[in-house]
Each structure stands twice: as structure tokens, then as C-alpha cells.
Chains A and B, each alone.
Chain A
Amino acid sequence: MIQIKDLHKSYKMGKNSLHVLKGINFNVEEGELVAIMGSSGSGKSTLLNILGMLDSSDSGEYILDNVPIKDLNETKAARYRNKFLGFVFQSFNLINYKSAAENVALPLYYQKVPRKERQEKALKYLTQVGLKEWAGHLPSELSGGQKQRVAIARALAAEPKVLLADEPTGALDSKTSYEVMDLIQKINDAGNTILIVTHEPDIADMCKRIVHLKDGVIIEDKKIEQVRAEQYV
């Protein structure tokens, strides 16, 4: 599903250049649940941003679902993001003047899905994350866990190839974190490919594979026995 070869990225800070990613190579198969771990500054968020086409790499190859991702202009990147990717952020990033259902329907709007179908789909995904009754509520009326579940529903709504989650449990207490992880695991069980950036070992253990980054290189890449989040809920 994802193939990355010799990926480099550096940031210019005035006269100095900060080399963040120093040749990353890894592949992700369909249906995997991968945790990307590392201390802050290890380049894990940069990697996720490049995977999410929110940022561009300096050199290296990136192939997503057999489509080489290169020479992106913003319009093309927007289309690819909409078609291939679903995002879950640490700070939820819901649009605060839109109801839960409208938030979920947003990616579909950009796909020009007719209004009625949009609403049906939004409701379907809200039901999947257990928030059907909250469809008409504004984000400010929801708890942190609920907000993140709305965000996950939104990420799912466009039926993306890959779900990218940037510290999805970073702003949640551990009980809610496990609830969210339970949801993510179930979505993964249904066959979706998911990448999670996290620095919490217990969250990483709930994935099927852990990739460790340090100073811009992968120092460890191992498959693990998944810990189900269900038992903590």
C-alpha cells in the first residue's frame, strides 16, 4: 500500500539546515496497523506529514496505492488527500461552527457527493463510532473522546486507502484513549490500513507493528503481538 525509499527532508532555519529525515525506507501492506514511535524531534511527525502530502520531501520515492506521489501542486495534493487519506489529529481539528454530522460530511462535500447521500453517509459513520444521537451537536458540546470519535468518523467518511493518525490519544485520558484505540482496532479489523504516530508505549502495543525512529532514521521495525484495547474498556 505504501512504499517509501530513501526519503530525505531537511528544514532551513535561517542559515542552518536541519536534517530531519535521513533516508527512510519502509513499506506498509494493506490492512496493517502501524505505530510510528520516537521521541520528540525524531522526525515522526514530519514523516507522517509527508505521508499525508501536507509536506513535501526533498528527495526519495513515495508510492501510495501504486500511484507515485511527486511533483504535487496544491490542487493535486488536495485531490489525492481527499481520495487516498483520512486524517485524525491530536487536537481533533473539528470545525467548531459545524455540527458533528456536518463535520463528518465535509470530505464528501469536497468529493461533490450529493447532499442527501452525504447526510446518509455521515450518519452511517457516526453510528459506527457510536455517536448517532450526537449528530446534531456542535463540537463544543462534545467530550474529548467524543470529539476524537467524530474526527475518526470524518476520516473514514471519504473511504480512504490509508488512515493517518497523529497522536490520536495525546489529548485524552487513558480510559478514553483505550476507547478510541478500541475503535481504531475495530476499524483495522475491517481491513483498513492505519498509521499511528505516538510516543506512548501502551498505545503502540495495541498496534500490529512498531516502527521506531530516532534522529531521522529507523532504528527498529518489528511486528508485535497486538494488545486488544477492549479489555481495558
Chain B
Amino acid sequence: MFNGDRWKEILEVLSSNVFRTLATSFGVGWGIFILIILLAAGKGLENGIRADFGDIATNTMFMWSRNTTMSYKGLPKGRRFSFKIEDVQAIKDNIPNLRFISPRNQLGGFGGGNNVVRGLKTGAFNVYGDYPEIIRQEPMTITSGRFVNHNDIQDKRKIAVIGVGVRNELYDQGEKVLGTYIKIQGINFMVVGTYQKKDDGGGEEGQKEIYVPFTAFSQAFNMGNDVGWMAITALDGSSISNLKEKIVGVVKEKRKIHPDDKRAVGYFDLYEQFNRVESLFGALRWVAYFVGVLVLLSGIIGVSNIMLIVIKERTKEIGIRRALGEAPWSIKKQILMESIFLTIISGMIGIVFGAAFIYGVNAVLDSVGPVDMFVNPSVSLGVVVIALVILIFSGLLAGFIPAQSAIKIRPIEALRTE
């Protein structure tokens, strides 16, 4: 099948009319080029949005308390309530497949007054009372010292882990941070670590947070057993979206809230949002394939057309060959191989140009700095392989009708054509 004579012949035929061959191959090359560009653009968008999500555990929901809207068990409606620390254990006991349940309390917030003092410097920061697991749900890099650990929780240690933004405001350049004290609402906490979060496009807000042990926070700021809100992450295999109703149900029962009271417990399902975005990417990919393949199809029709013309031109030659004893399938194979060869070569050129184009776009993106929601457009090797498979298939498709028509001509008729 891959003998030298056949290849020689393919090259002879294709090079006998160079302009026509080039014009034909342009169609296929263009199609695969468009396909690659579209897929890369989709990937770029995907990468961009994924980068916005960062490495936050996406299989996560957040849950907070609101006012009840229904009276229940003798309790009035419009009642303000709070989650309690024992609710965490209740959720753990009743719902399997949960990875982390982090109860959280918070001080400060947007527009809050200055709540942290160190020497002569003051600042307004978000202060969180947290369990150590939170670092797995809201990833941050510890740049010095350590994060909150379970001993801190147990001993209610008044320690704090501060963001680089906090350090920049409360400390001078190069000043020692670890082991110093900051005063949060009048209570001293020892700084044992600093962290940095990945820039999520939300400005410096993420870096201006202070994490202290949940228990120390409760005690220091008189929270009792109250829990402000919870971050709950499911195990990788199961989706939090399926578990959230049950979790809310458990909490409602514990807090004596009417099971039908839909407004008492607020929650936000990050996973659902994430999935929505995921399915958007899926749709984008399909659109890219759809449009790309359609453009490619017009290229394939071009190749098929040209092959038909080539066969018309070579009808006599085919007649001669058959008179000399070439088997029909051999002629068919020859034409199919010509067509596949033409499509693959032109497709490769399209792929190369597409890759070069993407490379260029990346170079431009690198030089102008990050663009919102568009990072590193690229196509994987898998896509290139898929493209090649599509090409071989289309080559076969393009050559099939011409090849069939070539062997349908009877040799006697083929010989008569002048």
C-alpha cells in the first residue's frame, strides 16, 4: 500500500497542476485553521474563568441564618436565630460524604470602622474565627510562620494569621512580624503567620483578612456558641448540590424552624454556579466543533470537486490502465490516497498556521499583561489528534464519490474519450 510507485504517482498528479492543488488545499487548511482557532479561543475563555475561580474548593456551599418566616413549635415568626456549634456535629452525624464543615464567625466587613490597632497604626480588616480546615476550602499560601491548627482551637489561643495587605498597613517595611501583637477590638492577638491569596481580581480585599482560631474568637468577642455561617464541602465523588437540601433540613430541625420555611436559612451553592459555567464551556466547545467542522466541510466538498475534475481529466488514462490490467480497487485506492494525502497535507498546514496564530496571540497577551477572562488560549495534543482523525475521515469522504465514479466508467468508454 505504501510503496514508492504509488507515492511517486500521487506527487506527480498533485504537482501537475500546482495552482489548483494549492487552491484546493486552502479550503481544507482554512477549515482546520478555523476549527483550531475556535477551540483555542474557547479554551482561553475557559482558562480565564477557571483562573477566576482559582483553586477554591468548588464542591462547596455556604450557609447562613436569616429571620424565620413561619411560626413553629410555639415560636413566633420573624424570630432572629443563629446556628450553634453543636449543629456542626449534627450535620456530621446525619450527612455522609462531607469533606469539611467549617463554622465561621466574622468581624468587620465593607465600610467597617477601624477595628485593629498596632502601636500607632490602625486599620479596618475582616477578622474571621475559623477552623484549620478553612485553608483547604479557601486556599492561601502561608508566606511565613504557620496557619491556625487544632491545638489553637482546643486551647483557645489568641493568635492571628494576617494577610500581606494587613502586614503592609500595620508594619513598616522589613519589620519583624511573627511574635508581635495586634489589638483586635481591644484584645491582643499574637501574629503567628502571614498568608497571601491568589489574586482573584477583587483587588486587595482578599489580602486584608485576619484569621484567628474559632474558639478564641467566640470567647474574645462574646459569641457564645453562635456560628455566623458555614462553609461545607462535599467529598469529590458526591455533589454538594444533591446534599444541600438535607443539610439545611438537619439545621432546621436543630434550630426548631418549620420544615417548609424556605427563607430562614440562606445558602449559596458554589458548585451549581461552577457547573453552570462548566456546561457553558461544553456548549462553547460544541459550537467550535460545529462551526469548524462546517467550514471544514466546505473545504472537503472543494477537494471532492477537484478530485472529480481530476478523474474527468484522467478518464482516458484510467481506461488505459484498466486495459493494461489494473484492478478497479487499485484505481479506487489510488484516488482515495490522493484525496487523503491532499487533505492531510493541507490540514497539517492549517494546524501549523493555527498553532502559529495561537502562539502569536499568546505572545501579545504576555506583552500587554493579563486580559480579563482570557488566559492562555491553547489546543491540546488530543484536539490535534482529533483534527487529524477528522482529516483522514474527510479525505476518505472527499475521495469516495470520485473514486466510485472512476471505477464506474467502463474501460471501453474511457478509452474512447479524447
| A residues neighboring B (CB under 8 Å) | 49, 52, 54-55, 74-75, 78-83, 87, 89, 91, 93-95, 97, 106-107, 109-111, 115, 154, 158
Contacts and interface: CB of A to CB of B under 8 A. Distances in A.
Contacts of B324: 81-82, 87, 106-107, 110, 154, 158
A78 B322 contact: yes
12 contacts: A74-B322, A78-B327, A79-B325, A81-B322, A83-B325, A87-B324, A93-B323, A95-B317, A95-B320, A107-B325, A110-B325, A110-B327
Interface in B316-351: 316-317, 319-330
B155 interface: no
Nearest to B4: A115
Given A95-B320, A106-B321, A75 B328 contact: yes
A3 B410 CA distance: 25
Contacts of B4: 115
Summarize B's interface: helix, strand, loop or mixed: helix
A18 B134 CA distance: 95
B412 A78 contact: no
Interface of B: 4-5, 12, 16, 316-317, 319-330, 407, 410-412, 415, 418
A74 B406 CA distance: 13
Contacts of A75: 327-329
Contacts of A110: 321, 324-327, 330
B403 to A, nearest CB: 14
Nearest to A46: B412
Contacts of A94: 320
Contacts of A154: 324
Given A81-B323, A87-B323, A94-B320, 16 more contacts: A54-B410, A54-B411, A54-B412, A55-B412, A75-B327, A75-B329, A79-B327, A81-B325, A82-B324, A89-B415, A91-B418, A95-B321, A106-B324, A110-B321, A111-B325, A158-B324
Summarize A's interface: helix, strand, loop or mixed: helix
A4 B143 CA distance: 100
A43 to B, nearest CB: 14
A18 B329 CA distance: 32
B286 to A, nearest CB: 44
A199 B108 CA distance: 113
Which are the 4 A-B pairs with shortest beta-carbon distances?
A82-B325, A54-B412, A81-B325, A78-B327
A54 B325 contact: no
Contacts of B329: 75
Contacts of B410: 54-55
Contacts of B412: 49, 54-55
A93 B327 contact: no
B199 to A, nearest CB: 65
Nearest to A118: B5
Contacts of B325: 78-83, 107, 110-111, 158
A83 B328 CA distance: 16
B16 A97 contact: yes
A110 B415 CA distance: 18
Contact of A93 (B5, B12, B320, B407): B320
Indicate the member of B320, B324, B328, B407 with the most A CB atoms within 10 Å. Answer: B324
A82 B329 CA distance: 15
A93 B317 CA distance: 8
Given A54-B411, A74-B328, A109 B323 contact: no
A127 B407 CA distance: 34
B263 to A, nearest CB: 79
Contact of B328 (A52, A78, A80): A78
B12 A78 contact: no
A52 B326 CA distance: 14
A185 B330 CA distance: 35
Nearest to A93: B320
A54 B327 contact: no
A107 B330 CA distance: 13
B328 A54 contact: no
Contact of B326 (A49, A78, A93): A78
Indicate the member of A78, A93, A109 with the most B CB atoms within 10 Å. Answer: A78
A213 to B, nearest CB: 18
Given A78-B326, A81-B324, A93-B316, A109 B415 contact: no
A95 B411 CA distance: 15
A94 B329 CA distance: 22
Nearest to A106: B324
A54 B323 CA distance: 7
